[in-house]
Structure 1
Amino acid sequence: MTGNKKKIFFMMSTLRGGGAEKVLLDILKRFDYNKYEVELGLIFPVGVYLSDLPVEVKVRALYPKGKFKLRLYNKVIFQWPQKFKLDFIPKLYYNFLFKEKYDVEIAFMEGLSTKYLAWKNKGNAKRIAWVHIDLVNNHYTKQYFKTSNEETWYYKQFDKIVFVSKDSQRAFNEKFKVNGIPQFVQNNLIPLPEIMEKGEEFEVQKKTFTLVSVGRLEDQKCFDRLVRLGDRLRTDLYDFEIWIIGQGPLLNALKQQVKDLSLEKYIKFLGFQTNPYPFIKAADIYINSSLAEGYPLTVCEAICLNKAVICTHNSGSEEILGKSEYGILVDHDDESIYMGVKSLIDDPEKLVHIRNQAKKRAVQFDENKVMSEIYDLIES
């Protein structure tokens, strides 16, 4: 690292195809590398977005590539020291690997990223924690800490805490008491022009009324709700397809659920798509069925493509959709989801109205404004 550029370090678990990872990638693509030098620390050097990183970003990983090496490192550096209460060993290893000094250090995701960055010798660095999720409704990070008090202690090692929505901030403060640390709400960067351009890259043909959903196939996203939705729509003799775009640990279970209900004709698994936007653009409805979110990125992307959106009530959804002003917010039960979808299938004029409202909401996404706000967080 040379010159008078400010040195920025981001810590992230992986670059798999999740929303927070996509947001980080979009931010790094727009960073001013004439002013900043950026290094990305990964816990695991894997993910579909690795190859998309700007060449200016230096990448360093805590674990090596390869299953055998990963298991060996995990046992020697983490599991065995923990078993024998030698917790200083993984911390020493982390500081040996990430010994560079930076001006600003950012744990860009809750959980492991926050924990491991807090291990680092801070020096004079300003340290920022980023929270992307409602930690009351989805406290998945508890697996990384012995107690809630320990997790609270780690957050107290930071100079600022940034939340992607007011709801995620409210949930955090309900869960943890970190008085005295400045907090900020910073909505995710939504690259409207890029999304619209990529939506035109190729054409996707649909055969019938189509719903689409994009996300990692994991418990939090509740894609099983869409399978049950499909079963109900078929029972009520609707002609439709549901496209599920993404990969994840629940893929086989979801496929089995579809098979058990003989829904293969109606529900299609399209896998991870580097460019999902033409699929979203082709569909009639974008549906988000998540149990918990922070600031649902794919909902914003669907709005950019002027889609009618149906979204379960979760953190950030009202900030995006208002009180069903720019889309339809539904409760988390199967009946509410079904009735929301049914209302748009049965009423084409309502569908068009919601799409027009989405168009009005989309113009409020300003990536230059968000990047300016992120620079302010770094500089202040």
Structure 2
Amino acid sequence: MNNTKKKILFIINNLSCGGAENALVSLLQVFDYQKYDVDLLLMKSEGVFLKKLPKEVQLLPAPKEIPFFDMSFKTAVLRSLATFRWDIILARLVYLFYARNEPVPTIKDQKLWRAMRICLPKLPQKYDVSISFLENIPNCYNVDKVTSTKKIAFIRNDYEKLGMDPELDRPYFKQLTALLTVSKSCEAILQRLFSDLPIQIGTMQSVFSLETIKVMAAEPIQEDFSGHTIVSVGRLDPQKGFDLAIKACSLLVQKGYAVKWYILGEGNLRNELQNQINNLQLTDHFFLIGAKENPYPYLQKASIYAQTSRFEGKSRATEEAKILQKIILATNFPTVSDQLTHLENGYIVDLNEEAIAEGII
């Protein structure tokens, strides 16, 4: 082994089908492994992108304490007692009293870490650079549980729209070397909120392999993409506005348009969105087809790519649709101008179902 190699650690929740996960795997695929030894820590060793990891990347074991925070309190206590993990019981009690009445999910995650850190051990390895690739738990883990010369953290979204509490993040961010985000608009928000901290705040563009995307886009798919087809990519999460997409699809069908709208992604809203589809009698027009390891053939074959988000950092799927030279419709979320110019390389509409439907027409 070349002892002059720098040791780098990346940290992220998992490798599910999302923009951050896709961006990380794409970055790892172009790394110079002659110069760097790269470790990857996932909070959970799962996700469709696992098989895309380069063989040079050392995948570390996921922290075995994490599943105890997905169980019911009773189950977690019983299993912890069986293994004499009093620290896990304490952590669950702290979370129960500290965050049970917190209505904002992102702040709840911020508070979750204050409990998790009680029972998660520090990583024994030492690194030249540790890079947490997603906000909240990966960033906090990087600060509290990793020994490294330089620490870099990412906020991959509009920080204010995420609804996070800056005062909970401030003591963590001040220990970083750099805080990075994905667009100049998102950077301006971080500069305004954290300019007093002695750290670098900047933007890092995501890595895209144009040739790889074009080759992968040529692969076949099973779904029928004849006629007017619309594709959207993203987690089934309120941020992505798929409830508005379903309503817009209903308006299009009422106007006589034989559209088919495909959503690529998974998330907690699947049952709720499917019920909305069923109630509006759109089962022949609107399809939740799940996370796809290769979304590019769907983008390639679509008549329109639609980004119906309420907010974004910088949508990776929109960038990929641009690479494939697709017609793009996007809602007027706060950072949309970082990616699209109305009537130049996209069509930007107001954030409601009527505007989305009219834009598509």
Does TM, scored on the shorter chain, surpass 0.5? yes
C-alpha separation between the residues in 2 aligned to 1:266 and 1:205?
Answer: 11
Instruction: Tell me whether 1:282 sits opposite 2:301 in the alignment.
Output: yes
Which structure 2 residues correspond to residues 105-254 of structure 1 after superposition, within 5 A? Answer: 105-120=130-145, 122=147, 125-139=149-163, 142=164, 148-202=166-220, 205-254=224-273
Q: Displacement of 1:37 after TM fit?
A: 0.4
Unaligned segments of structure 2, at least 5 residues:
81-86, 99-112
Q: 1:69 to 1:313 in 2, by over 3 A?
A: closer
Q: Displacement of 1:331 after TM fit?
A: 2.1
1:104 maps to which residue?
Answer: 129
2:25 maps to which residue?
Answer: 25
Q: Is the 8 A contact 1:285 1:308 kept in 2?
A: yes
C-alpha separation between the residues in 2 aligned to 1:105 and 1:322?
Answer: 36
Q: 1:201 to 1:207 in 2, by over 3 A?
A: closer
Q: Displacement of 1:39 after TM fit?
A: 0.7
* RMSD across aligned positions (CA): 2.6
Give the aligned length. Answer: 333
1:377 maps to which residue?
Answer: none
Q: Displacement of 1:316 after TM fit?
A: 4.4
In structure 2, the residue corresponding to 1:321 is in which secondary structure? Answer: coil
Q: Is the 8 A contact 2:331 2:348 kept in 1?
A: yes
Instruction: Tell me whether 1:76 sits opposite 2:100 in the alignment.
Output: no
Q: Is the 8 A contact 1:208 1:239 kept in 2?
A: yes
Instruction: Tell me whether 1:15 sits opposite 2:15 in the alignment.
Output: yes
Q: Is the 8 A contact 1:215 1:245 kept in 2?
A: yes
Q: 1:65 to 1:88 in 2, by over 3 A?
A: closer
Structure-1-length-normalised TM-score: 0.80
C-alpha separation between the residues in 2 aligned to 1:162 and 1:298?
Answer: 20
Q: 1:191 to 1:316 in 2, by over 3 A?
A: farther
Q: 1:252 to 1:83 in 2, by over 3 A?
A: closer
Q: 1:271 to 1:205 in 2, by over 3 A?
A: same
Q: Is the 8 A contact 2:191 2:201 kept in 1?
A: no
In structure 1, the residue corresponding to 2:249 is in which secondary structure? Answer: helix
Between the two proteins, what is the percent identity of the paired residues? Answer: 30
Q: Displacement of 1:159 after TM fit?
A: 0.9
C-alpha separation between the residues in 2 aligned to 1:263 and 1:88?
Answer: 43
Instruction: Tell me whether 1:311 sits opposite 2:330 in the alignment.
Output: yes
Q: Is the 8 A contact 1:205 1:282 kept in 2?
A: no
Q: Is the 8 A contact 1:220 1:292 kept in 2?
A: yes
Q: 1:215 to 1:151 in 2, by over 3 A?
A: same
**Which 10-residue stretch deviates more, 169-178 or 17-26?**
169-178
1:334 maps to which residue?
Answer: 353
Q: Displacement of 1:172 after TM fit?
A: 2.5
Q: Is the 8 A contact 2:65 2:88 kept in 1?
A: no
2:109 maps to which residue?
Answer: none
Structure-2-length-normalised TM-score: 0.84
Q: Displacement of 1:205 after TM fit?
A: 4.2
Unaligned segments of structure 1, at least 5 residues:
343-380
C-alpha separation between the residues in 1 aligned to 2:295 and 2:344?
Answer: 25
